[in-house]
Structures are given as structure tokens and as C-alpha cells.
Chains A and B, each alone.
Chain A
Amino acid sequence: MSKPKAGRSGFLKPVQNRIRTFFSKPQNVILLVLGIVLTISTIYPMLTIVRDTIRLHPGSIDASANAAASQKELLGTTVTGYNWTNLFTDTITTRVGRRRVTQSVASVYLWTPLLNSVLVSVFACLGAILYGGIFAYLVTRTDLKWKRYLSSVFIFPYIMPQWTLAMLWKSLFNSNAASGGSDGLFASVLGLYLPKWWCEGLFPVSVVLALHYAPFAYILIGGIFRNMDASLEEAAMILNTPGWKTFLRVTLPLVKPAILSTVLLVFSSAMGSYPVPHYLKLNTLSTQYVEMNASRAGQASILAVIMMLFGFLILIINQRTTSGRANYTTVTGKSGQRSLVKLGAAKYVLTALFTVLTMMTGILPVVMFATETFLPNPGDYSFLTHGLSGNTTLKWWVTREPAAESGMYGQKGILFNPQILNAFKGTFFLAVACALLAGTIGLLIGYCVSKNRRSKWAAYVNQIAFLPYLMPSLAVGAAFFVFGSSAGIYNTFLLLILAGTVKYIPFASRSALNSMMQLSGEIEEAAIIQDIPWWKRMLCIVIPIQKTSIISGYLLPFMTCLRELTLFMLLCGQGKIITTMLSYYDEMGLYAFSSGINLILVVLILIINTLVNLLTGASIDSGISGSGENRKKKNSNCSG
């Protein structure tokens, strides 16, 4: 009688034992939990937006077209193909000048913005890689002057909000004759009226985005240039290969992976950018989405889905190429003494050129913003010709009684404005919450994935955490907008924190994974053997050793969150956080306010970055590249 029982327990015990062993390792438990949570938090909002394309929206075109049906059945629960059929098959009549033109709906609402988006993304990639790559080469491989100064100012545009350069472009080049609005500095002071294509549209948007993402290319490509084993190039030199051939056949292929990862990221980021095309008036998928969000909500969701498909496409390309990237790991050898390329007289020309360029992109915006807050009227640069007194004002900053001043729209000055203070508080709260959550989750993912390198589940968790990285911000924002509206948490910090965390986990997980991979497993095993509990191992061993890159993993989400507009603007009202507030003042025409807020934001971010860098050695660029200089030092300690 007892035989079958014994047999059964004999069979069950090894299974039980396995399960117990599996769960006795904290990394397995964390991976399991995070895998499930991230799958839901990342995939579910994306699914809701797909579902949204076949839903009826009250007050939207699909509802009025289906008016007959919607009266009988409940709104919102009805499934309709209208959004798709209307978008792809119907025509629409629009006014172009005096003529009425009939076009297909798709060409107006989809193909034109899509084409613009793709063009902007392609040009932004090319520009960023050329500008950033050339700069990286000059800084790392030649005897350029003032490298320290140049390389720190060069990354300013990436630290600053995206629209900074767009607003700078407008305040410099805008021309009332060509594009309306107030005249920029060139027009009002120099009398130089630039053509429309220079003032707005594809060209300035591409240039601004390229400048914004060039630091990214510089950090990634420069990292490889810096670590590249010089003997690879010297070997080619010994074989009497001409210099240009060495560059094309040896150097460039080695930089290829960095170029590729820049392309992948810049492409989707440029596609998802809203403020730049918005300020510089280009019709892209993002601006089109915002425009259609009210009247054609279902079709707007289709645009968001299309943007996401681009994200998936990029993810697939990324996966294809990362598998081949292993071939390049030998590149990061110990580089010995490397002789810098002598530029000769060009050294001074290039130094001057880049000093001017970085001044324009890094310092000038701050100066411009500051100036604008003292102008009596937007675009009124009369103080340059007529002297400071009487032509500048402090009213935008210090007014306490708004009724007494003209042009304040009933707002108190920036320093005393409770709305602005509130929005700053909100942004700070949001940034701290997102940084803590994203940083911690990213750290755990990096730790657990590095512990379970062979596990397929770990690879999946890593991928799913990485996915939002390659999703255009606006698409992620749209997904969370639809999700938040249906869940009833629209305009709450909960929704903002959720979206921010999901979007920024990749920043943290990437740098954490990179640093954890460099930490030999024995370092922790030495503590396991001595019966030191997991939390103590993390707090006293793992985290202190890799603290620099871990702090970078918290810093990057924090900084990005401070200046994020695209992701959050769909999710909350205007006064909740500072970037939406800024955008609101800009719409109102209170340019001094938006410039003032921008100034505070930019200066704040620069100060925090510098402080953290000085105190801990962590910095945004080491967060992006995942290979800080100081980590190497630490690691040589670990391996003895």
C-alpha cells in the first residue's frame, strides 16, 4: 500500500527541490516579479492604444459618422472599423489658398506627416553622426586645443531641453515677412531677413535635432575611439597603408557599432519629438497626433501605432546587430601610448570653429533666454541700439501686482508666481520619483540579468525593459494617455510616474548591466560563502564597488525627467509640471515667461550635473556610454 506513495514522493521531491533551489536565489525571484510587472506595464498600454483604434470616441469624427449606431448602443463599447476605413479610403476637401482641393484622408493625415517624420529622422541621424563623429575624432585622436572645455560644452545641448535650440533658432532667425510672428535678432538688429525655408520647416527641424543628438554620437563614438587599441591602426601603418585607407578600412569599421547604436536611438527619438517640429512648424506624425487628438481620436491612435511599429522595427534591427557586435569586443583593448594626429595650422582653425559652434549651441541659448526675460516686448532688441535704460525691464521677474503692468495677462512675475512654483515642485517630485523607481528597477535588472546570463527569461526581461528606449516618446505618451484615460488616472502623478519610470528604466538598466557584467561573480560568492545575507551583499559590496555607474543610472532618468515634455504633455494638465507650464506660456505669447523658466531649468540641470559629477564622479555621459573612466580603475582593483 505504501509503495505508490513512496514512488510519488520520490518523483516529486526532486521537482520540489529544484523549485526551492530556484527561489532561494534572490535574482530569480526578482526576475520573475519584474518580468511579469514590466510585461504588464509596458505591453498593456501599447495594447490599449491598438484597441483604441477600433473604438468609438464621443465628440470625435467616428462617433458622428456612426451617430445612428451610437444612439442605440453604448458609446465606447462599440467596435468600429470606421477609423481605419475613413483614414485609408475616404477623401477630404481642404482649402489651399483660394482653391478647394480634394485629397485622400490618408495623404493629409498620414502620408505627408509620415514622410516628414522619416525625412527629419534620417537627416537628424546623418547630421548628428557627422557632427558628433567628427568632433569625437578631433577630440580623441588629434592635437586639437582646449579639449576639456570643448568636450564639456559640446554635450550641453543634450542636457538642455530639446526645444531650447528650436526657440533659439526662432529668436535668432525668425522673420515676420516670411513666417509671421515677431522678428528675430538677425532681422531686427542686422536687418537680415532670411527666407522661409530657413526659418521654419524641414531644414531647421533637422538641424536642431541633429545638434541636440550630436552629443550622443560624440559620447558613443568617442568612447570607442578612446578605448581603441592603437596597435590595430599601427599594424596597418607598418604595412604601409595610406592614411585614408587605414581610416576607411580599419578605423571606421571599428566605430560601426557605435554609429549603429546612435542611429537606432536618434531615429526613434527624432521621430517621437514633439516640441521641435511644433515650434518650427513642421507637420510630423507627432504634431499631427496632437492636432487630431480631439476630433479624430481614433485615427490619432493609428498614427501612434504606426510610430510604435517603427520602434519595434528598430528593436529588431538592434537585436540583429547586437549579436554580431560581439565580434568587436576585442576592440576595447588596453591602448598604449598613442600618438595624436598632428593637425598643423588647421589645429587653430578647427579649434576656433568648434569654439564658436559650441558657444552657439551651448552658451548662447542661456544668454538668449536670460536676455529675453529683460526685454519689454518679445523681439524688442532696441536696447542694443538705444542703450539699457528704458529699453529693458525687470517686470517679468518681480511684478507682484499683475494688474498694474501691461502684457502680463494677470500673471505675477516669475519669482513670485505660485503657479510656476507649484509646477517646479511637481516636476521635482516627478523627477525624484521616476529616478528612484527607474534607477532601482534598472539596477535590479542589471544585477539579475548579469547573474543569469544564460537564462532565456533573463534575456526576455532585459529586452522588455529595453523596449521603451526605442519607442518614440510621443507614442509611449499616447499609449499611456489612452491607458490612463480608461483607467481613470488621467492628470495624476501616478500616471506620470508610471509613464516616466517605464520610459526611463532602459537608461538605468543599460548602465547597470554594463557595470555588473564587469563585476566578477566571485566577488559576491566570497560573501555568500560567509553567510552574508543578500541585502547586505548588495549594500556593502556590489553597490559600493559600482557606485559611480549606479549613480549615473539614477542621474540620467532624473535629468531627462526634469526636461521632458513630449512624454508628459498628453498625460496631465498644463500646470502640473514645469515643462507643460512652459509650453502653455509659450502658446499664450508670454515668451519672457517661457524663456525665464527655460533659463532656470537649464541652469538647474547644469548645476546638478556638475555637482553630482564633482561629488561622485558620475556623469550623464558615463551613463549613456556605460563605460566610465573610473570604472576601469575600480575593476583593476577587483581582479587584483
Chain B
Amino acid sequence: MARIELSHVTKRWGGFYAVDDLSLVIEDNAFVTLLGPSGCGKTTTLRMIAGLETPTTGRITIDGVPVFDSEAGINVPANKRRVGFLFQNYALWPNMTVRKNIAFGLGNLREAGLSVSEEGEIRRDPLAKGQARKLTKEEIERVVQRVSEIVKIQPFLDRYPGELSGGQQQRVAIARTLAPGPRVLFMDEPLSNLDAKLRLEMRSELQRLHHSTGSTFVYVTHDQMEAMTLATRICLISNGVLQQYDEPLTIYGKPENTFVADFVGNPAINFINGHGHQGEDGSFTLSVLDHYEAVFVSSRKISAQEWYQEQESREAAVQKPDRPVAKENEDTLFQYPVRTVTGREESRDCLSPDDWVIGVRPEFLSICEDGPLEGEVFSAMPTGMETTVRIRVGNYLLTGVSFGKVTYQIGQKIRMEITGDGICLFSRRNGCLVTTGTLHMRHPDENDAG
């Protein structure tokens, strides 16, 4: 029930920028995940919104009300922001029963116009004036009953947290967070302490919870799968800098740069270096994988030259944030992995505008009898539903996924092709996505024959 807006929020410790000039709008009723590798600043971001950490500079508003503004000198403490926070290790108070854990915060509410409905829902009358009141014992009990029903923990109300399993503790923590009716629910890797099976179950319950409460959820995770499955929007952060903020499928299908493409998706995307330029018909003819020639056709009309100009002018337009202290953890161009048999990678020096990277999701690499690409099976990992195959092409390794029950032998010769219109083309110079489209491979020998 709240819209959160961050503008130019920076948090640094000395020269270490944990969060660097982050601007973000979290819409009302959204389920946003903050995703990124460990140490990228996602938890810091969450804690700053909740008020547990003070930003160095910037401005944060919840529901249009500024809760932090470094210039105006506003800093609403965490306890006055009316938010809920679910901690990674639940932080249940071990000296209180489950009931007391949930009721403790409720007994502390003191507002004008506070009431509890018959169903146990907390109502706040924003226009109410006059005496602030506390909840009565009966009202608190009604709320406790309601939230414990939501997460199905009524049988455990009189137990101590130490007497509950991990999953039950997790539910108690959720109930405790829901009880005072927070406007926003923050969750800091809430599922990482659970075993794999329980995690899947809780994931679906969290989604139901979001649906039924209608609150705004902000969720921190380093697990891209969790982010993909739960979120309405994903905010991908690296080194304190926002990489992309989009819906999950957009992030997956149209990653803005090589970092995003690499981080999201399991098995990871294949990166293939290519050299060549745009022809007159708009298609790119690139030499790839040492011996092959690939033709990339963009799904929309695009001119490489114009794109580069656009990029340059945009870079010039973006204001570099004022830095009182130099950033120790400098931003560097993401070194996307090109997997090879020897493990050695090509040098990345002296890149010209004609150097490109093609990103191929594993599902676009399909194995078929008459495919133009020739390779041999390097490793095969069947899970039953699908098989992840790593294929050696020359010195390069490509990953593909094939569905169905097919058994591959290591060393087996196979042919494959690249299908679909979701192939990404990135510039090697700045790692940014140029466009998506289709890719046709040709072996040089066939070329000669044709």
C-alpha cells in the first residue's frame, strides 16, 4: 500500500561505495527483488529504505512522504516508518513464546484512530484526531489469531522459537512482521536458511501472501531463480550500481548488458565473440568461433553507427555524480566469460567498433541432424526433465539444453543450429545490448561450395 522512491541515494564507508547514486521507483503493490552477487549493496539498499542504515546522500520517500533527505535534513527513524522487516535468520526473540513474539509489537502501537476489525485486521483512520489509543488485549489476540491463520501456525502459539523447525520459525517471523499492518514488507534473503524443498514451498507461499495482502514487497536475494519466479520487477545491482530494473522476462530476454545477461539464467548464457560489420541490408556478417561465419539479422531496424553515436551522446548527457571521495571499488567493464577447452581467453585489448559479442541462451542452441555447427559432446548432465549438454566446437565450449530423454555419450559427434529470434548482440566496447534478433551460422566450406 505504498510507493517508494529513491533518488540519487549513495552510501559509502570512506572510499568504499556500497550503493552508488541509486535511483529507483517501487510502485505500490509491487513485488520487487533486489538481485545481485554477494556484497553488491542490495542488503544495504534495503536497510536504508527501512531506516536501519543511514544513507550518505540522497532522498527516499515512502507514500510521497520523505523519510530521508540529506539536503533537507530529514531522517525518519526506522521505528516511525511503519514498515515490516523479515530478517535472514528470522531474529525471533528466544525468550518469548510465539504468541508473545507476535503480540509484543502490537502492545506497543499507540495511534489515534486505531481499531481492529472482527476478522482481526488492523484499521487506521488517517483523518482521526484526538487521543492516541492502545490496543486492548482482546484486539491484540484477534490480530494474533488472524496472522497466525494466514501462515498456519495456530498449533504452535504457546511454543518457544527454539522448539520449532526452521520452516515454522520462518512462518512465525512472517506473522510477527505482518501483525502491525506494515505499509511495506522488506525481506532480506528470507529463504536462504531453509533446505531446498522447503524453500520451493515457501516461495509459492510468499507469492500467495503478496497476492492476498496487497502490500508492497521488497525482497533481497542473490538467487536469480528466486528473483525470476517471485518478482513483478527485478532490480539488478552490481558493485553498488543499478544495472537493470525491469520485469523478469525482459531482464531474461533483453538484458541491457553482458553482466545482466550472464547473471540471470541457469545454465548461463553463451557468449560468442564476433568480428565484422553491418552490411547495406542492415544485417551483420560476423566471423565467429574461429572458422564460422554468422549473419545476424536484427528484429528491428537499426544502424550500428547511429547506435554508437547515440551511446556517446547519452554518456555525455549523464551527469557524473559529485564524488567527495574517489570510489575505491572502481566500476570496471564486466569481463564476460567465454568458455574454452583450455580455459584461455582471447585478449580483449584494442577493441574496434567492429567487435561484437553474441549472447545465445542455451535453449536457442538446438541439436539436429543437419545443423551447420559441428561439435562433440564435452559433458552431459541429465536431470530427467531436460539435459544440459556442453558441446565443444573447436576450442570453444557452448552450453545447450535439450528436453526429453536423450542419452549423450561423451565424445559423440553432433550437429546443431541456433534458432529463435532472441539472440542478443552486444558491443564489446561497452558491453551494452545493441539489439536482439536471429542468427544464421555458415561453415566456411559450405560458403565456398555455395
Contacts and interface: CB of A to CB of B under 8 A. Distances in A.
Interface in A511-545: 520, 522-523, 525-533, 536, 540-541, 544-545
- Which of B75, B77, B94 gathers most chain A CB within 10 Å? B94
Given A531-B79, A541-B93, 20 more contacts: A13-B72, A17-B75, A20-B73, A24-B75, A525-B52, A526-B85, A528-B77, A529-B52, A529-B79, A531-B80, A532-B79, A532-B105, A533-B108, A636-B162, A637-B162, A638-B92, A640-B92, A640-B161, A640-B169, A640-B193
B217 to A, nearest CB: 15
Given A530-B104, A634-B94, A640-B89, A14 B161 contact: no
- Interface pairs A-B: 3 shortest CB-CB: A530-B105, A637-B94, A13-B73
Given A540-B104, A544-B95, A634-B94, A639 B89 contact: yes
Nearest to B161: A637
Contacts of A525: 52, 78, 85, 87, 91
B341 interface: no
B283 interface: no
B74 interface: yes
A638 to B, nearest CB: 5
B231 interface: no
A10 interface: yes
B166 interface: yes
Interface in B393-434: none
Interface string B53-82: 010000000000000001111110111101
Contacts of A634: 94
A330 interface: no
A21 interface: yes
Interface in B41-58: 50, 52, 54
A241 interface: no
B91 A522 contact: yes
Interface string A2-27: 00000000100110110011001000
B83 interface: yes
A631 to B, nearest CB: 12
- Which of A528, A545, A634 gathers most chain B CB within 10 Å? A528
Contacts of A14: 70-71, 73
Contacts of A533: 108
A526 B87 contact: yes
A545 B95 contact: yes
A354 B90 CA distance: 48
Contacts of B169: 640
7 contacts: A529-B50, A529-B52, A532-B79, A541-B93, A545-B95, A637-B162, A638-B92
A378 to B, nearest CB: 54
Contacts of B104: 527, 530, 532, 540
A81 B79 CA distance: 61
Nearest to A17: B73
A17 B88 contact: no
Contact of B78 (A529, A541, A637, A638): A529
A640 B166 contact: yes
Contacts of B255: none
A97 B50 CA distance: 82
Nearest to A545: B95
- Which of A16, A527, A530, A541 gathers most chain B CB within 10 Å? A530
A13 B71 contact: yes
B182 to A, nearest CB: 8
A4 to B, nearest CB: 17
Interface of A: 10, 13-14, 16-17, 20-21, 24, 520, 522-523, 525-533, 536, 540-541, 544-545, 634, 636-640
A634 B176 CA distance: 21
The A interface, classified by DSSP as helix, strand, loop or mixed, is helix
Contacts of A21: 54, 75
B180 interface: yes
Contact of B105 (A10, A523, A527, A638): A527
B84 interface: yes
B79 A528 contact: yes
B160 interface: yes
B105 A17 contact: no
A527 B85 CA distance: 10
A526 B91 contact: yes
A20 B95 contact: no
A454 B91 CA distance: 22
A612 B162 CA distance: 25
Contacts of B91: 520, 522-523, 525-526, 638
A529 B166 contact: no
A541 B95 contact: yes
Nearest to B179: A530
A639 B92 CA distance: 8
A640 B87 CA distance: 11
Contacts of B78: 525, 528-529
Nearest to B100: A540
A24 B166 CA distance: 35
A544 to B, nearest CB: 4
A522 B88 contact: yes
A533 B105 CA distance: 10
Given A520-B91, A525-B85, A544-B95, A531 B71 contact: no
Nearest to B160: A637
A636 to B, nearest CB: 7
Nearest to A634: B94
A16 B105 contact: no
A529 B83 contact: yes
A520 B52 CA distance: 14
B88 A545 contact: no
Contact of A530 (B87, B96, B108, B166): B108
Nearest to A530: B105
B69 to A, nearest CB: 9
A530 B180 contact: yes
A541 B105 CA distance: 12
B9 to A, nearest CB: 14
A634 B160 CA distance: 12
A531 B161 contact: no
A536 B108 contact: yes
A24 B105 contact: no
Contacts of B70: 14, 17
- Which of B71, B77, B95, B96 gathers most chain A CB within 10 Å? B95
A526 to B, nearest CB: 4
Interface in B142-170: 160-162, 166, 169
B92 A528 contact: no
- Which of B71, B82, B87, B109 gathers most chain A CB within 10 Å? B87
Nearest to A22: B54
Contacts of A13: 71-73
Contact of A529 (B75, B85, B94): B85
A545 B94 CA distance: 7
Nearest to B50: A529
Contact of B90 (A529, A531, A636, A640): A640
Contacts of B93: 523, 526-527, 540-541, 545
A16 to B, nearest CB: 6
B181 to A, nearest CB: 11
Nearest to A638: B94
A176 B232 CA distance: 94
Nearest to A635: B94
Contacts of A528: 52, 77-79
A532 B109 CA distance: 9
A452 to B, nearest CB: 14
A525 B77 CA distance: 12
- Which of B52, B73, B82, B193 gathers most chain A CB within 10 Å? B73
A20 B85 CA distance: 24
Nearest to B172: A640
A540 B101 CA distance: 11
A544 B70 CA distance: 37
Contacts of A526: 85, 87, 91-93, 176
A523 B89 CA distance: 9
B75 A10 contact: no
A20 B109 CA distance: 24
